[in-house]
Amino acid sequence: MANTKKGILLGAVADDMTGATDLCNTLVARGMRTIQMIGLPGPRDAVPDADAVVVALKSRNLPAADAVRISKRARSWLEKAGAKQFFFKYCSTFDSTDDGNIGPVGDALLKATGGDLTTYCPAFPAAGRSVYNGHLFVGDQLISKTGMRNHPLTPMRDPDLVSVLDRQVTGDVGLVPFDVVNRGPKAIAKAFDQQRANGIRHVIVDAITEKHLIDLGLAGAGLKLMTGGSGAAMGLPDAFRKAGHLGAGKTAAKLPRAKGLSAVIAGSCSVATLGQIEHMKNERPVFYVDAAELADNPGLATDAVRWAKGQMTDGPVLIYVSAKPAQVRKVQKRLGRDAAGELVENALGSVAKGLVKAGVGRLVVAGGETSGAVVSSLGIKALRIGGEIDPGVPWTYATGKTNLHLALKSGNFGQANFFTRAFEVLE
């Protein structure tokens, strides 16, 4: 059943692409039909038939003013699309600097919604992220003791999220601590009222278990804006259901029937992907595009597509450029790191175009950047999110003209047999 109100229920803005998919996954698993839009939608982009729309931006590392500007534009589009509540999604490690972008974007979106209080909660128990007394833990360590301490762009050296956020927003930052959260939705909602009475607009919420996150969603039903990792959105579908806006959503993950030939494109050099390539070599025909050769022979992408046309009739094929670190370094040394990446990504983008033209209707792509290149080369603007293949990797359906099923796999995700299993799951 579609939602019982016209337009979408939830409008979310995510600060990066894989984070957006993560949030979509959470919402679909809890019964919301969800669309991920890639980049800022334009005024003429149609409103998808969905319960939730997640706009995937690339705003995490932009200057704060730019992140604020595009996030506000995305929210305003979502409001016009009918959204009743808004969510700002960032990483469960609270990736940000003292200048932003979580605080400035949260503040600006809160003002734009006309709301008087918003919540911040990066907890994600399945991945070991919890917030206790306002402090962010990864497993049993404070975030400041983990590798995030030395993150090249957003080093997290202060685990006290109240202080971190305090440096990013105007006005005081409040905390709803564990003992309140543990008492359930009513207690949490009452704490929001107390914070409001003290003039506090930005509130960190403790959460250790999934129950805490679900209770947070229920307590936040009256809030215009909530923010957090994908975990903080866990309770939102239930809150919409409780308010009578959403059905059981048993078919939320249903995609149109898959048609056409099957192929895999790999541009990730991560350990998991290299293993998946080795596995595929024993199962199905594979074609290796040598990145070094690509520099001298741009026709190699066309050769790969021509080869695939003769091989795809009885099952999936793999075209890959992925190589071991020493080989990658050699190419990077010759061409420069960015130029090598761009050369490879452009080639794989044109392979994807060629494959779709040749009748591919089910495509698996390995690699985050590679996925971005493929999606942009195919001109895809929105994905309907389906069921998971492996944790964190759903099948999606490119809405619009393409009639294409796509699985976009971040490099290190998926089991060894991912490239064959993905197509079996789709049947």
Stretch that binds ligand ADP, among 44-52, 68-76, 247-255, 262-270 (CB under 6 A): 262-270
Could you say which of 15, 22, 215, 345 contacts ligand ADP (CB under 6 A)? 345
Q: Which residues contact 346 (CB under 8 A, 6 or more apart)?
A: 373, 377
Task: Indicate the residue among 14 and 331 with the shorter CB distance to ligand ADP.
Answer: 331
Task: Indicate the residue among 34 and 273 with the shorter CB distance to ligand ADP.
Answer: 273
What would the two tokens of residue 270 be? 């991560």
- Whether the Cβ atoms of residue 33 and residue 249 lie closer than 8 Å to each other: yes
- Give bridge partners of residue 318 from the DSSP assignment: 264, 286
| Total interface residues for ligand ADP by CB under 6 A | 23
Task: Indicate the residue among 157 and 333 with the shorter CB distance to ligand ADP.
Answer: 333
Could you say which of 249, 267, 349, 354 contacts ligand ADP (CB under 6 A)? 267
What would the two tokens of residue 308 be? 């695939």
Convert 230-253 to b/e letters by CB count within 10 Å (16 or more is b): bbbbbbbbbbbbeeebbbebeebb
CB of 366 to ligand ADP, least distance (A): 7
Per rule CB under 6 A, is residue 406 in the interface with ligand ADP?
A: no
Could you say which of 91, 323, 383, 389 contacts ligand ADP (CB under 6 A)? 323
CB of 386 to ligand ADP, least distance (A): 21
Per rule CB under 6 A, is residue 265 in the interface with ligand ADP?
A: no
Task: Indicate the residue among 223 and 328 with the shorter CB distance to ligand ADP.
Answer: 328
- Whether the Cβ atoms of residue 228 and residue 90 lie closer than 8 Å to each other: yes
Per rule CB under 6 A, is residue 322 in the interface with ligand ADP?
A: yes
CB of 300 to ligand ADP, least distance (A): 12
Q: CA 174 from chain center: how many Å?
A: 28
Task: Indicate the residue among 172 and 290 with the shorter CB distance to ligand ADP.
Answer: 290
Per rule CB under 6 A, is residue 340 in the interface with ligand ADP?
A: yes
Per rule CB under 6 A, is residue 363 in the interface with ligand ADP?
A: no
Could you say which of 123, 308, 328, 422 contacts ligand ADP (CB under 6 A)? 328
Residues 147-176, interacting with ligand ADP (CB under 6 A):
none
- Whether the Cβ atoms of residue 262 and residue 407 lie closer than 8 Å to each other: no
For residues 136 and 207, give the distance between their C-alpha atoms in angstroms, rounded to a whole number.
10
CB of 359 to ligand ADP, least distance (A): 25
For residues 394 and 383, give the distance between their C-alpha atoms in angstroms, rounded to a whole number.
11
Per rule CB under 6 A, is residue 350 in the interface with ligand ADP?
A: no
CB of 325 to ligand ADP, least distance (A): 10
Per rule CB under 6 A, is residue 318 in the interface with ligand ADP?
A: no
Task: Indicate the residue among 147 and 171 with the shorter CB distance to ligand ADP.
Answer: 147
**Residue with structure tokens 């590392």?**
61
What are the start-end ranges of the H helices in 114-254? 161-166, 178-181, 185-197, 210-219, 236-242
- Whether the Cβ atoms of residue 261 and residue 360 lie closer than 8 Å to each other: yes
Per rule CB under 6 A, is residue 22 in the interface with ligand ADP?
A: no
CB of 15 to ligand ADP, least distance (A): 17
Stretch that binds ligand ADP, among 44-52, 101-109, 220-228, 339-347 (CB under 6 A): 339-347
Per rule CB under 6 A, is residue 286 in the interface with ligand ADP?
A: no
Per rule CB under 6 A, is residue 370 in the interface with ligand ADP?
A: yes
Convert 48-73 to b/e letters by CB count within 10 Å (16 or more is b): bebbbbbbbbebbbbebeebbbbbbb
- Cα atoms in the Cβ-side hemisphere of radius 13 Å centred on 157: 6
Per rule CB under 6 A, is residue 38 in the interface with ligand ADP?
A: no
Could you say which of 110, 123, 138, 321 contacts ligand ADP (CB under 6 A)? 321
For residues 241 and 222, give the distance between their C-alpha atoms in angstroms, rounded to a whole number.
14
The phi and psi torsions of 407 (rounded to 5 degrees) equal -120, 115
- Whether the Cβ atoms of residue 230 and residue 22 lie closer than 8 Å to each other: yes
Q: Which stretches of the chain bind ligand ADP, using CB under 6 A?
A: 267-270, 273, 291, 321-323, 327-328, 331-332, 340-341, 344-345, 367-370, 410-411
